[in-house]
Structure 1
Amino acid sequence: NVAAGANPLGLKRGIEKAVEAVTSALLASAKEIDTKEQIAATAGISAGDQSIGDLIAEAMD
């Protein structure tokens, strides 16, 4: 916390390292999707609504 006396540059560097670590972890666990059905399923899960997933897949096609 900068207000409590933390070094702002140190805090920034820590955040940047955390972003790199999270990005690497996400990329390592990512799976490619190719078909319209896979896009619809993934988008439906993300949106919490399969009809929205279908619309997104249609828009991307």
Structure 2
Amino acid sequence: EVYVDMIKAGIVDPAKVVRTALQDAGSIAALLITAEAMITDVPAKDAAPAGGGGGGMGGY
């Protein structure tokens, strides 16, 4: 096992880390804004009551 300084080894680029974090934050913010605009409650209209039963149905 070898321990190295990740920045000196070129594994971690601080500018890339910051850029990626900002891109991810912007992506999540856009998702929340879009989701908020898409979620809505449509008021249900009250339907007319059902009609009465027909006459002459066996004398019950």
Higher helix fraction: Structure 1 or Structure 2? 1
Structure label with greater radius of gyration: 2
TM-score, length-scaled by structure 1: 0.42
TM-score relative to the length of structure 2: 0.43
Higher relative contact order (CA 8 A, sep 6+): 1
